[in-house]
Amino acid sequence: MSVLVTGAGLVGTSFARHAIQRGEKIIFFDPESRQSFIDFKCGKGKAELVRGDVRDLPALLDAVKKHKIETIVHTAGLIGGRVQQSLSLAFDINLGGTRNVAEVMRLAGLRRLVHISTFGVYDTRREMPGRVDESFPRGAGRGYGNLKVAKEVLLEAYADLHKFELVMLRPANVYGFGHFWAGSSGGAKMQALLEAGLAGRKACIPSAETMANEYVYADDMGRAVDRAVTKPAAAGGVFNIGNGFVTSFAEVVEAVRQHCPALEIEIEPGEPPKNKSAPLSISAAKQNLDWRPVHDIVSGFGAYLSEIRSARAHGF
């Protein structure tokens, strides 16, 4: 099977590692020159990059037809603060790009679309239950979450009308070695902590990033996407992907210090943190994707540090 992945970032490359092991052909569709990053993450020559923007429907359709794509994994889009910087640009890339992906599904008659959404779709202004399942109301008020909701609703309408299989994953904050071009401030925070710990220097963390949050390690996320691509039971499903509990910033720092005892922290004043109050329910992913996380925060950081060291050895 051939899979096209929109966006050559952390989630897409983490999925690709697993898909390549199964012998699948992976094509990344990304506007930036990321072949060296793809080669590092997936193995040299193991996956191909097509330079293109999801806002360009003809280029996206051409890539699908040229490479005989059967499934699309849609990860491309701006994240978090980058959305707030320009809602208009984010509308064009996030929602316009998703419309184009849906159109390609229709025009090319593809079988399955796996859409990477976010736990940011949930309306945290409401009283939260003990665990947040996939039925909890959507629409959080801010640009990123609301555009993700709009993407989900748009894709649901396309899938219903044009009869392709739609699987949507709502991950917690994904962490692992990446470039964070799209704007994942949470992912960038985790990398800053580990790199400072390795270098024996102080990590400067914005106040807003000291929130209690739920995290999932990139390789666990990659396995979840792989199951969403391959499992028949995933069809038509929406699945939370997390580790099942909220981790405080103090706990994150302590987990880093288990690997890098000399880590020092400086908190930069600014916007106060907005803590997550309830973890995700991941029972649906366990049941229908046969998926559960392997890593807790300590073992995830151990694997992450190994990849940072390997990246340095390869000149990243």
The total of structural domains in the chain comes to 1
Given a cut of 90, whether residue 143 has pLDDT beyond it is no
Q: Mean pLDDT check: name the lowest of 59-68, 157-166, 192-201, 295-304.
A: 192-201
The answer to the question of residue 70 being in a domain is: yes
Q: Is residue 181 classed as helix, strand or coil in its secondary structure? A: coil
The answer to the question of residue 149 being in a domain is: yes
Q: Which of 177-181, 198-202, 249-253 has the highest mean pLDDT?
A: 249-253
The answer to the question of residue 86 being in a domain is: yes
The answer to the question of residue 198 being in a domain is: no
pLDDT of 86-117, one tens digit each? 889 988 999 999 999 999 999 999 999 999 99
Distances, alpha carbon 226 to alpha carbons 76, 151, 230, 232, 284, in Å = 17, 21, 6, 12, 16
Q: Identify the band that residue 316 occupies on the pLDDT scale cut at 50, 70 and 90.
A: confident
Residue 160's pLDDT is 97
The answer to the question of residue 196 being in a domain is: no
Q: Identify the band that residue 239 occupies on the pLDDT scale cut at 50, 70 and 90.
A: very high
CA atoms within 13 A on the CB side of 234: 26
**pTM reported for the whole predicted model:** 0.95
CATH of the domain at 119: 3.40.50.720
In terms of residue numbers, what domain contains 35? 2-177+215-242+277-294
The answer to the question of residue 7 being in a domain is: yes
Q: Identify the band that residue 141 occupies on the pLDDT scale cut at 50, 70 and 90.
A: confident
The answer to the question of residue 37 being in a domain is: yes
Given a cut of 60, whether residue 51 has pLDDT beyond it is yes
Q: Is 153 exposed, middle or buried (0-12, 13-18, 19+ CB in 10 A)?
A: exposed
Instruction: Write the CB contacts of 198 (distance below 8 Å, at least 6 apart in sequence).
Output: 260, 305, 308, 309
The answer to the question of residue 152 being in a domain is: yes
pLDDT of 249-260, one tens digit each? 999 999 999 999
**What are the residue ranges of helices labelled H in the chain?**
10-21, 35-42, 57-66, 81-85, 87-90, 97-108, 143-162, 185-199, 218-230, 249-257, 283-288, 297-313
Given a cut of 90, whether residue 186 has pLDDT beyond it is no
